[in-house]
């Protein structure tokens, strides 16, 4: 049964549940709160729950593989839930299954392997995430020097932060014809005073960073320009 630790705001106002408050789950829950969302955090470890009691909107120690406990917590009334349980594969799958049975509108779940992710998809989880895999791909492009940041929007569409290639230095964006030549789009430019939307008349300067978006192949080629 659930053991309440602390409630900062009325429980019924929460709209996202984060189940499993390890490194990934606690970071996710904390960022949601910082963004103004109501968050119910759940973990089986009393120590973790106590540590987050002044950070999250509402936090409880509970066994989320128990259907009655989830009902008592009012999980079915929330807009979405994220299963961020780490090493316990059985608990992850059973919790996700119960959330779906209880009618949670959007169920997200962290997967530790392809087989784990496949099972989560088979039981109907709406979004399966692979944080370690995604971070590995992201860091690979930074380590190689190709970009300053690299984010997959989906499997074949990417947004990248990188420096202005020397070949385009002091050119107006319209003159550079980046989209026509490379099939990628400059979205924003940082001239040292923060990022601003890119316009055809924007000038590309040495040392500026730009955010570009496009299909993975063309974008990777663009990032390799000198």
What confidence tier does 35 reach under pLDDT thresholds 50, 70, 90? Answer: confident
How many of the other CB atoms lie within 10 Å of CB of 178? 23
What letter would DSSP give residue 37? Answer: -
Pairwise CA distance, residues 144 & 136, whole Å: 12
Confidence of residue 137 (pLDDT cuts 50, 70, 90): low
* The predicted structure's pLDDT at residue 10: 42
Distant-in-sequence, close-in-space partners of 113: CB < 8 Å, separation ≥ 6: none
Q: What share of the chain is helix, strand, coil (3-state, %, to 5)?
A: 40, 30, 35
Of 144 and 195, more confident: 195
Mean pLDDT confidence for 84-107: 94
- Tell me how far the alpha carbon of residue 125 is from its chain's centroid: 16
Query: Which pLDDT does position 90 carry in this prediction?
Result: 95
pLDDT for 69 equals 95
Q: Is residue 82 very low, low, confident or very high in pLDDT (cuts 50, 70, 90)?
A: very high
Phi, psi of 41 (to 5 degrees): -100, 135
Q: What are the DSSP E strand ranges found in the chain?
A: 3-7, 16-19, 39-43, 58-61, 80-83, 106-110, 127-129, 149-154, 157-163, 171-172, 185-190, 195-197, 203-204, 209-215
* Window from 16-25, 133-142, 154-163, 200-209 with minimum mean pLDDT: 133-142
136 pLDDT more than 70: no
Among 8-17, 47-56, 60-69, 198-207, where is mean pLDDT lowest?
Answer: 8-17
| Alpha helices (H) in 128-211, listed in sequence order | 131-143, 173-176, 178-182
pLDDT tier at 139, thresholds 50, 70, 90: low
């Amino acid at each position: 049964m659930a053991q309440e630790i602390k409630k900062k705001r009325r429980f019924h106002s929460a709209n996202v549940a984060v189940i499993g408050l390890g490194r990934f789950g606690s970071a996710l829950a904390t960022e949601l709160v910082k963004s103004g969302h109501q968050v119910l955090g759940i973990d089986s470890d009393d120590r973790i729950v106590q540590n987050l009691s002044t950070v999250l909107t509402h936090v409880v120690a509970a066994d989320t593989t128990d259907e009655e406990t989830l009902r008592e917590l009012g999980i079915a009334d929330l807009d979405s839930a994220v299963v961020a349980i780490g090493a316990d594969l059985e608990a992850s799958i059973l919790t996700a299954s119960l959330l779906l049975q209880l009618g949670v509108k959007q169920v997200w779940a962290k997967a530790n392997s392809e087989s784990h992710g496949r099972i989560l998809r088979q039981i109907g989880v709406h979004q399966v995430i692979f944080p370690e895999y995604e971070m590995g791909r992201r860091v690979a492009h930074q380590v190689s020097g190709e970009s300053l940041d690299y984010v997959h929007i989906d499997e074949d569409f990417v947004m990248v932060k990188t420096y202005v290639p020397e070949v385009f230095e002091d050119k107006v964006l319209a003159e550079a014809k980046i989209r026509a030549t490379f099939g990628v789009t400059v979205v924003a430019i940082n001239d040292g005073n923060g990022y601003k939307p890119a316009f055809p008349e924007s000038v590309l300067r040495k040392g500026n960073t730009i955010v570009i978006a496009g299909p993975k192949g063309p974008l990777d080629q663009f990032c390799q320009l000198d």
